Amino acid sequence: MRKLTAILFLFISFSLHAQLPELIPYRKGELWGFCDSNKNIIVEPKYDSAFQYSPEYKTAGVVLNKKSGYLDSNFQFKRANYCKTVTFPIVDNTIKNGNKYGLMDSSGNEILPPVYDYINFYSNGWFTVVLNGKHGVVDSANKIIIPFIYDFIYHYENGMCMFELNKKFGYFDLTGKVKVEPKYTFATNFENGLAYVRYENGAGGFMDKNGTEYWE
């Protein structure tokens, strides 16, 4: 059993009486604010950083003058002071043949033959594996879903999978097809329908699953 630890910042030292609209972080120059899905500005860009709207806590995190906080129901800045650590378990049932790896179930039945350099992730019912130094995706019958041409393939998050090719990042959809071409030098997984991306020239911000970019 291996464990991955993710740090989730939860802003809980507040009380909200009205639900905020769902906000999309919007970048203008070096400052951040919020807009709706039609790019109508809801909160003028004035923050150092802005994070995704949390449906659970009905607010959005921001950084102002290097101080972390959140927006209250009137879009006013409030300080936050709570951090929580959450641990996610990952089961490792690899089998090895020389320098090659496969996978078996809990009963010892082979799922993937030991022919791969490494087995990275299991998500969306598929396995991200490495063959001859290149990443691809196979299903539980060892059928190739995504060819072995990528430098790195991450796990699926919220219906999208990030990949790296020639030092640029793009995304697959749930069918394994390229949804967003690899053109970003920095990118994150999708959360609440948004991912943070950035071009080589430094331009960047949040993007939705259709490739719509929320910055100017």
Number of domains in the chain: 2
Residue identified by tokens 């793009």 is: 170
Tell me how far apart the terminal alpha carbons of the chain are, to the nearest angstrom.
45
Confidence label for 82 from pLDDT (cuts 50, 70 and 90): very low
- Residues 81 and 123 both lie in one domain: no
DSSP type of residue 191: B
3-state percent helix, strand, coil for the chain, nearest multiple of 5: 0, 60, 40
| CATH number for position 177 | 2.40.128
- pLDDT tens digits for 12-21? 333 333 334 4
Token pair in block for residue 106 = 């809990």
The last residue of a domain, from among 59, 86, 113: 86
- pLDDT tens digits for 191-205? 888 999 999 999 999
The last residue of a domain, from among 64, 86, 108: 86
- Whole-number pLDDT of residue 23: 79
- Residues 53 and 98 both lie in one domain: no
Q: Which domain holds residue 77?
A: 2-86
Taking 50 as the threshold, does the pLDDT of residue 129 lie above it? yes
Taking 80 as the threshold, does the pLDDT of residue 214 lie above it? yes
Taking 70 as the threshold, does the pLDDT of residue 150 lie above it? yes
Mean pLDDT of 86-108: 59
- Residues 64 and 118 both lie in one domain: no
- Residues 45 and 71 both lie in one domain: yes
- Whole-number pLDDT of residue 1: 37
- Residues 68 and 15 both lie in one domain: yes
- Whole-number pLDDT of residue 12: 31
Q: Are strands 168-172 and 160-165 parallel, antiparallel or unpaired?
A: antiparallel
Q: What is the CA radius of gyration of the chain?
A: 20
Buried b (16+ CB within 10 A) or exposed e, 177-201: eebbebebeebbebeebbbbbbeee
Q: Which residue, among 95, 100, 146, 147, has the nearest Cα to 123 in the 3D structure?
A: 146
The last residue of a domain, from among 69, 86, 103: 86
- Residues 189 and 104 both lie in one domain: yes
- Residues 48 and 145 both lie in one domain: no
Mean pLDDT rounded to a whole number for the chain: 77
Residue 45 · residue 29 · CB < 8 Å: yes
- pLDDT tens digits for 25-78? 898 888 888 888 888 998 899 988 887 776 665 677 788 886 767 787 778 887
Taking 50 as the threshold, does the pLDDT of residue 5 lie above it? no
Taking 50 as the threshold, does the pLDDT of residue 152 lie above it? yes
Per cent of the chain over pLDDT 90 is 30
- Residues 76 and 118 both lie in one domain: no
- Residues 27 and 126 both lie in one domain: no
Taking 90 as the threshold, does the pLDDT of residue 213 lie above it? yes
Confidence label for 85 from pLDDT (cuts 50, 70 and 90): very low
Contacts of 170 (CB under 8 A, 6+ apart): 162, 163, 178, 179, 180, 181, 182, 183, 184, 187
Token pair in block for residue 58 = 């009905």
Judged by average pLDDT, the poorest of 66-70, 101-105, 159-163 is 66-70
Q: CA 63, CA 30: separation in Å to the nearest integer? A: 13
- Residues 61 and 109 both lie in one domain: no
Q: Which amino acid is at 47?
A: Y
- Whole-number pLDDT of residue 203: 94
